[in-house]
Amino acid sequence: MLLLQNKERFGLIAVSLGYFDTLRSCSGSSTASEIAVEDQKTIGLSPGLVRLSIGITGSLPERLEQIERAAKEAGLV
């Protein structure tokens, strides 16, 4: 999330994903934070899960490149 936000300037952080701009949410630390950790594991909600809502700002290829660069820098791929 930090790389997408600070380095890639990728959308906005949001709890609700209904907006015209690109949004991202880390459900485990926001909307699902009240769910017990055991229950989060049961339903497959990992702490690093990032939900994205690609808006009308920027092109899809640009957004995919931003995600790929951030994932590589974070050592995820």
Per CATH, the number for 2-73 is 3.90.1150.10
Residues 45, 20, 7, 31: what is their CA dihedral angle, to the nearest 10 degrees? -30
Binned at pLDDT 50, 70 and 90, residue 7 comes out as confident
The domains of the chain are located at: 2-73
User: Which residue, among 59, 52, 65, 62, has the nearest Cα to 23 in the 3D structure?
Assistant: 52
pLDDT at position 1 is 61
pLDDT digits (tens, 9 = 90+) for 52-69: 888 888 888 998 998 899
